[in-house]
Amino acid sequence: MMQSPVGRGASRGFTLIELVMVIVIAGILATVAGPHFFTPSVFTQRAYADDVAGALRLAQKAAVATDCPARVNLSASSYVVQQQAASGNTCNTSDTTWSTPVVGTDGVAAAGTAPSGTTASPTGAYVFNGSGAISSSPGSTLTVGVNTITIDALTGYIQEQ
C-alpha cells in the first residue's frame, strides 16, 4: 500500500497566519493601486460629452420645430442653448442677443457646466437653421475631453465617437 506524501500528523491547507498575511497584502495593494484603475474622470468626461451632444440635438430640434434659428453657445467649460426671439409664428432674425432660452423636457433652460479637468473645443456658437442643418459654427468636429462629436454640415446629423 502506498503512503501519501504528507505524513500522518501533518494537515493539509493553510495556517491562519498565512491566510491573514494574504488578506493584509491584498488590502494594501487594493488601497494603493485601486484608485488608479477606477478614476471617475473618464466617466464624467463622457457624461459631459453626451450632455453637449444632447444640447446640440435639442437646438436642432428647436430650430426645426419653430423654423427659427437656435444655437448652442459653447465655451471651454460650459454651454447654453438659446433661440432668437419669436412673436407669433414669425422669427425675429434681428434679435442678436438670442434672448430666448431653449427649455428641455424637464422644463429647465438647457445649459451645463463641464466637470473639473474637462474642456471643449472649438468654442463658439453652433447655429442650426429651420431645416435642421448647421448654418454657422466654429467647426464640424468638437472635442469634449477625450471624446469627439461630429456634426454633418448639410443635414445637421450629430454623431458621437
113 belongs to a structural domain: yes
* CA 94-99-102 angle, 5° bins: 120
Domain enclosing residue 109, as ranges: 41-160
Cell representation of residue 13: 491547507
pLDDT tens per residue, range 139-153 = 899 999 889 999 998
The tally of domains found in the chain comes to 1
112 belongs to a structural domain: yes
Return contacts of 26-32, CB within 8 angstroms, 24+ apart.
none
Q: Determine how many CB atoms are found less than 10 A away from the CB of residue 130.
A: 15
Instruction: Give Cβ neighbours of residue 101 (< 8 Å, ≥ 6 apart).
Output: 80, 81, 82, 83, 109, 110, 111
Residue 70 maps to which CATH number?
3.55.40
Asked if residue 58 has pLDDT above 80, the reply is yes
Name the maximum alpha-carbon separation found in the chain. 103
Q: 70-74 and 78-83 as β-strands: parallel, antiparallel, unpaired? A: antiparallel
5 belongs to a structural domain: no
Prior bond to 122 cis, omega within 30? yes
pLDDT tens per residue, range 99-141 = 889 998 889 999 999 998 889 999 999 999 989 999 988 989 9
30 belongs to a structural domain: no
Burial 36-49 (b: 16+ CB within 10 A, else e): eeeeeeeebbbebb
Cell representation of residue 18: 498565512
Predicted model pTM: 0.74
| Percent over 70 (pLDDT), the chain | 91
13 belongs to a structural domain: no
15 belongs to a structural domain: no
20 belongs to a structural domain: no
Across 6-31, average pLDDT: 85
